[in-house]
Amino acid sequence: MTSPLSTTTTAALDQAEIAALRARFPILSREMNGHALVYLDSGATAQRPLEVIEAERAYASESNAAVHRGAHLLAAEATELFEDARTTVAGFIGADERELVWTSGATAALNLIAGSFGNASAGLGGGAAAPFRLGPGDEIVVTELEHHANLIPWQQLAARTGATLRHLPVDDDGVLLLDAASDVIGERTKVLAFAHVSNVTGAIAPVADLVALAARFGALTVLDACQSVPHLPVDVRTLGVDFLVFSGHKMLGPNGIGALWGRRALLDAMPPFLTGGSMITTVTLDGAEFLPAPQRFEAGTQPVSQAIALATAVGFLEDVGMDRIHATEAAYGERLANGLASIDGVRLIGPRPGTPRAGLASFDLDGVHAHDVGQFFDDRGIAVRVGHHCAQPLHRRLGLTASTRASSYLYTSDADIDAFLEAAALVGPFFGGSR
């Protein structure tokens, strides 16, 4: 199978550039517990630059109105800003704006896909919805790496339709066993859903290989891109998937906004999941006709200020350069992996050092619970993520209940990584464990 990621030769951001970027993020100037904040939890939620904060404020104070509804000038202005934001965000992933559906986040987007497939399976959508119908004998395939948001909707869909849910396994390090894919994906597979980048291991999936295998059997592919769109150059045409989802709050944007991208022909054939105002053409007391995508999936009041702020975040990322962001984080991911693997008593989760990974790393410290590890870091002003990271099946497969994760972004500095690794080496001795 092909390599999951080509080695990049793009120059990483230097420390002076990172310092200039950090100055645009007010929260990074804070102190926590008497220490300068070291924020290494961007995999959960990224911080926001001044430009994004100001974009939401400016809309609320100058342009707030109901989009796609009012006939007055202010409403027209709000609608134009809203749709311009769609065009900007769609272009960021190489898509047409008619293929981008606003949602409240990636979780909502994945539930929208599964819910629409469920509606199709219940007979809605007519003949055009036939490719989305599932029943007994059909199979949905996920991986053992998935975030709960890309697992539970498929569990629910399988339960509603009688389809079988299967998974691609991982090895003892938490690395996907690709050789098993051809044993799991086959003629019964109707949907293959998987993460582009694991939020626990940092491993980057071999998308081309998995898409090609699914395509051999006519299966639809759904890509959870929450940990890739903010960090890697992503082009939906190159990836070849059928659907892709991501969240704004992980890419310098606000909460409450995310997006579903889908091939236009598929979106137009899918029955709606949420219904109500703004997604219809004609309504009678006995029935309704629906708009084409994306509006058919955008019932009700939309996250207008959030969409505009997300478009501003996209502009910020484009100004920095996704190639350079990726190069910077790839180097940080390697530093984290090497540093953690060298500490006595630490178990690095995911790819071994030297294997391409995103700019994050998770670990377990022998004899010390992850929550205690996290408190040790927090006392030193270092914000990391502890717990199962919404990936309980993966942790259970690895014999763990929780782990500790450090995740970087474009504003992470060498000093941040140094502080983390220095603290990581002290945790074991502090708790009387590894030395």
Domain boundaries of the chain, sorted by first residue:
15-48+321-430, 53-318
Tokens of 240: 């070849």
Q: What is the pLDDT of residue 294?
A: 97
DSSP secondary structure, 168-219, as one string: E-B-TTS-B-GGGHHHHSSTTEEEEEEESB-TTT-PBP-HHHHHHHHHHTT-
> CATH topology of 15-48+321-430 equal to that of 53-318?
no
Residue 259 has pLDDT above 80, yes or no: yes
| pLDDT tens-place string over residues 184-206 | 999 999 999 999 999 999 999 99
Average pLDDT value for residue range 297-310: 97
Q: How many whole angstroms separate alpha carbon 206 and alpha carbon 196?
A: 8
How far is 366 from 344, CA to CA, in rounded Å? 9
pLDDT in the model for residue 435: 38
Residue 39 has φ and ψ, to the nearest 5°, of -95, 105
Predicted local confidence at residue 432, as pLDDT: 84
pLDDT at 229 over 80: yes
Task: Give the model's pLDDT for residue 69.
Answer: 85
Which amino acid is located at 124 in the chain? L
Q: Give the burial class of 207: count Cβ atoms within 10 A of its Cβ; 0-12 exposed, 13-18 middle, 19 or more buried.
A: buried
* The CATH number fitting domain 53-318, selected from 3.40.640.10, 3.40.50.1110, 3.40.1360.10, 3.30.830.10: 3.40.640.10
Distances (CA, A) of 4 to 182, 206, 210, 391, 408: 17, 4, 11, 22, 20
In the CATH hierarchy, which fold is given to the domain comprising 15-48+321-430?
Aspartate Aminotransferase, domain 1 (3.90.1150)
Asked if 13 and 410 touch (Cβ cutoff 8 Å), the reply is yes
Read off the pLDDT of each residue in 385-398 and give the average, rounded to a whole number.
98
Q: Nearest 5°: phi and psi at 128?
A: -65, -25
Q: Are 224 and 106 in contact (CB under 8 A)?
A: yes
Please report the pLDDT score of residue 222 as a whole number.
99
Residue 347 has pLDDT above 90, yes or no: yes
- Please tell me the distance from the alpha carbon of residue 394 to that of residue 397, in angstroms, as a whole number: 5
pLDDT at site 352: 95
User: How many alpha carbons lie under 13 Å from residue 401 in its C-beta half-sphere?
Assistant: 6
pLDDT at 433: 60
Quick: pLDDT tens for 124-183.
Answer: 999 999 999 999 999 999 999 999 999 999 999 999 999 999 999 999 999 999 999 999
| pTM of the shown model | 0.96
β-partners of residue 31 are: 36
- Residue-level pLDDT at 376: 98
Q: How confident is the model at residue 3 (pLDDT cuts 50, 70, 90)?
A: very low
**For residues 330-334, average pLDDT:** 98
pLDDT score of 225 more than 60: yes
- Strand-pair category, 139-143 with 258-262: unpaired
Predicted confidence band of residue 10 (pLDDT cuts 50, 70, 90)? confident
Look-up of token digits 């995103």: 358
pLDDT for residue 305 is more than 70 = yes
Report the C-alpha dihedral over residues 25, 390, 387, 412, rounded to 10 degrees. -20
Q: Which helix (H) or strand (E) holds 383?
A: strand 382-383
Q: What residues act catalytically? A: 390
Of the pLDDT bands very low, low, confident and very high (cuts 50, 70, 90), residue 434 is: very low
pLDDT score recorded for residue 319: 98
Q: What is the pLDDT of residues 92-123, one digit of tens each?
A: 999 999 999 999 999 999 999 999 999 999 99
Alpha-carbon span 69 to 27, nearest angstrom: 37
Which residues, in sequence order, are bridge partners of residue 268? none
Question: 271 near 129, Cβ under 8 Å?
Answer: yes
pLDDT at residue 1 in the model: 35
